[in-house]
């Protein structure tokens, strides 16, 4: 059964009064939303709080929610908006945040290499370099890049999450990839990444 259909069935069950349906939706998406927010805010505790806030907002709105897009798209839109609010509030005040060098974001790893400490260190360095390069993108380019490359959303879904035209999403993604290529190409040549 398609995950979108399953989500809609769970939403219908919740709207019919079954609390366990919401628990299943939360279980299904909590880690993905947390990882998305962690990439955005780069602080474990804040990402955890924002994740809970996403699901609190969903819980309050789900009873009357009418699907105009996929359930997951709606979730990411709420998470994206909360991340924007977080960054706006953060820019108004100076706060301490973790250096994201040691963030674990559930990146896929080959089973045969995962036990090799040298490979793990190299992999962490590579992900750190990519995150640092992504931080140099414009806010829209970074959002599109993260939703496409890390969360695996389709262009149509990204457009719905960010509230922009699909053509605009394509432009931001193209520019993000060109800028990342320009930023990372010298490193590839230098280090043979």
Tens digits of per-residue pLDDT, 36-65? 999 999 889 999 999 999 999 999 999 888
Amino acid 109: pLDDT: 45
Q: Is 49 helix (H, G, I), strand (E, B) or coil?
A: helix
The model carries a pTM of: 0.66
Encoded tokens for 9: 């069935």
Tens digits of per-residue pLDDT, 91-136? 776 544 444 455 455 544 444 445 566 666 766 776 778 788 888 9
Nearest CA to 134 among 191, 181, 82? 181
Q: How far is CA 154 from CA 33, 54, 145, in A?
A: 16, 21, 11
Comparison of pLDDT for 16 and 124, the residue scoring more: 16
Nearest CA to 52 among 73, 79, 74, 18? 79
User: Could you tell me how far CA 52 lies from the centroid of its own chain?
Assistant: 15
Amino acid 5: pLDDT: 72
Amino acid 20: pLDDT: 93
Spell out the domains of the chain, with CATH numbers in brackets.
1-93 (1.10.1740.10), 114-193 (1.10.10.10)
Encoded tokens for 161: 């999450």
């Amino acid at each position: 059964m398609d995950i979108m259909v399953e989500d809609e069935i769970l939403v219908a069950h919740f709207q019919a009064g079954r609390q366990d349906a919401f628990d299943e939706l939360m279980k299904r998406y909590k880690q993905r939303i947390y990882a998305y927010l962690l990439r955005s805010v780069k602080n474990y505790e804040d990402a955890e709080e924002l994740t809970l806030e996403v699901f609190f907002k969903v819980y309050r709105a789900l009873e009357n929610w009418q699907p105009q897009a996929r359930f997951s798209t709606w979730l990411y839109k709420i998470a994206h908006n909360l991340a924007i609010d977080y960054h706006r509030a953060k820019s108004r005040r100076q706060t301490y945040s973790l250096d994201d060098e040691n963030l674990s974001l559930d990146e896929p790893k080959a089973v045969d290499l995962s036990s090799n400490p040298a490979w793990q260190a190299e992999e962490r360095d590579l992900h750190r370099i990519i995150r640092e390069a992504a931080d140099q993108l414009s806010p829209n380019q970074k959002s599109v890049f993260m939703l496409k490359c890390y969360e695996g959303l389709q262009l149509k879904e990204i457009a719905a999450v960010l509230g922009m035209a699909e053509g605009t999403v394509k432009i931001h993604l193209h520019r993000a990839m060109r800028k990342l290529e320009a930023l990372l190409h010298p490193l590839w040549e230098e280090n043979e990444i």
